[in-house]
Amino acid sequence: MPTLDDVADIATSLPEVEEEDRRGTRAWRVGKKVFAWERAFRKVDLERFGSEAPPTGPILAVRVDDLSEKEAVLAPDQDGFFTIPHFDGYPAVLIRLEAVEEQALREAIVDGWLACAPKRLTEAYVTD
């Protein structure tokens, strides 16, 4: 089971990534754009689950390129990937770290970085 420390290792291995503290939670950015962040459920999120139990454990939010990519990521019903109404219309997915395979997590983080990194970085990364 991957941890937030594993997320940090993956994210900070990418060019020009910095970790930051966002009100007591961890986030990773390239330049000024955050592409992955720890996402606790807020009260309104929990209320929307109603009688259904919300996912447990650490949750990571990761940017995707656009809403079509979001649909593609969520379509195969990969273990650990989901969304909530708060993210409707926003290009990001949620990942339950206790349920995701490490390779799928790595790919999601890299894809999030690719969606947010400047072109000069992505072109160099893709050609390496």
CA angle, corner 60, sides to 58 and 64, nearest 5? 165
Residue 73 has a pLDDT of 94
Q: Which CATH number fits domain 4-127: 3.20.20.70, 1.50.10.20, 3.20.20.110, 3.90.1150.30?
A: 3.90.1150.30
Confidence of residue 127 (pLDDT cuts 50, 70, 90): low
What number is the average pLDDT over the span 2-24?
96
**pTM, rounded to two decimals:** 0.92
Q: How far is CA 42 from CA 27, 35, 47, 85, 120, in A?
A: 17, 20, 9, 12, 36
Question: 16-67: per-residue pLDDT in tens?
Answer: 999 999 989 999 999 999 999 999 888 888 888 888 888 889 999 999 999 9
Q: What are phi and psi of 47, to 5 degrees?
A: -65, -35
Give residue limits of the domains in the chain: 4-127
Q: CA-CA distance, 74 to 81, in Å (whole number)?
A: 6
Question: Would the pLDDT of 108 be above 80?
Answer: yes
Cβ contact 7:20 at 8 Å? no
Long-range contacts of 67-71 (CB under 8 A, 24+ apart): 67/91, 69/111, 69/115
Measured N-to-C along each axis, helices 102-116 and 4-12 cross at an angle, to the nearest 10 degrees, of 50
Q: CA-CA distance, 27 to 71, in Å (whole number)?
A: 23
Q: What are phi and psi of 33, to 5 degrees?
A: -100, 125
- Pick from 108, 109, 103: nearest CA to 8: 109
Confidence of residue 121 (pLDDT cuts 50, 70, 90): very high
